[in-house]
Amino acid sequence: MRSRHALALFSLPLFVISSLAITSPAVAAETSAQIPVTELFAEVGTASPVTSGYSRDLFTHWIDADGDGCDTRQEVLIEESLVPVTFSSGCTVSSGEWYSWYDGATWTAPSDVDVDHFVPLSEAWQSGAHAWSADQRRAFANDLGLAVGLEAVTDNVNQSKGDRDPGAWLPPLADQSCRYVAEWVVVKYRWALTVDIDERAAMDDILVGACANTIVTVPARGGSEDIAPEGDVPANPQDSRNCTDFASWREAQDWFEFYFPHYGDVARLDSNGDGIACESLPGAP
C-alpha cells in the first residue's frame, strides 16, 4: 500500500508580487525547498493548448502499481479516509469517511466519492502530455507520489469541474480558491505542464495579497520511472461483455480489473466511473 507525500502549504508575513506571464522558467527550483507559490508559478511555462487527439484511454489509470492488490483509486480512498476503511472483498473499499474540501461535504460511502485527477487528464493532454510516452501518461494518471495529484471529493462536484482549468472552474467553497490554485501550480510544475494565457491570467488574479504568500514545497519532477513498465499485455477484449454476462458482481469486477489497466473501461461496465463495475449485480458494494 502506497503512502502519499504531504504538501506543505501555509502563509508567511511577506509580500510577494504575483508572477508575470512568461514562456519558460528562469531558475530551477530545488526539490523539497519551501518557496512562495508565485515563485514556483514563475517556473511554469506558457503555451497554447493542443486541443486535438485526446482520448481518456490514452491514460491507463487505476492500476495496482505496487502489486499489493489495491488499485490507485482504492489506495487514495484508504489514504484519505478519516477513519479506518472497511472492505467488501479483496481491496475494494466499502466504507470510510471522506471530507471533500472542494465543497465541505463528508461522505461514508465510496460510491459518493470520485477520485479526481486534480489536473484533469484532458487538461494534461492539452498542456504537454500529448507529447509523452504511454508510460509517462500512465505514471501521471496514477501519481501517488504527490498528495495533491489525486483527491477524493464529492462525485457530482468533480463532475461539474469536468476538464476545466482554474480560469473556468473553482471549488464551490470560495475560501478554497487560493489552496486550489496553489495546488494546481504544484501539479503543473511536477509534470512540466504549461498553462495557457487565459489560465495564467485567472491564476494571477487569485495569487495576490495573502494568497501570494502561500508557501509550497517544491515537488520532485514526475516521470515514467514513477510507475514500473507494463509487462505482458492481454489482447483487447473490445466491447464484448455486458453486466448480464456475469453470474455475480465479483466475477464482473475481476474481469473489469483485469482489463482496465490496459484498455480502460472498454466494455462500459462502470457506468458512473467510480471504479466499481456492474453495481446492479448481486454482491456489489
DSSP class per residue in 49-102: ---SS--GGGS--S--TTSSS--HHHHHHHHH-SS--EEEETTEEEE--EEETT
The total number of structural domains that make up the chain: 2
Last residue of a domain, one of 202, 226, 250: 226
84/127 same-domain check: yes
User: Is 141 part of a structural domain of the chain?
Assistant: yes
pLDDT digits (tens, 9 = 90+) for 188-237: 999 999 999 999 999 999 999 999 999 999 999 997 555 544 445 677 77
User: Is 3 part of a structural domain of the chain?
Assistant: no
206/241 same-domain check: no
Burial 164-196 (b: 16+ CB within 10 A, else e): ebbbeebbebeebbbbbbbbbbbbbbbbbbbbb
57/94 same-domain check: yes
Helical pair 177-190 and 197-206, crossing angle rounded to 10 deg? 130
Last residue of a domain, one of 192, 226, 260: 226
Query: 143: which 3 cell numbers?
Result: 501519481
pLDDT digits (tens, 9 = 90+) for 107-157: 999 999 999 999 999 999 999 999 999 999 999 999 999 999 999 999 999
Q: How confident is the model at residue 84 (pLDDT cuts 50, 70, 90)?
A: very high
Last residue of a domain, one of 208, 226, 244: 226
- Quote the domain boundaries for residue 167: 9-226
Query: 32: which 3 cell numbers?
Result: 523539497
212/237 same-domain check: no
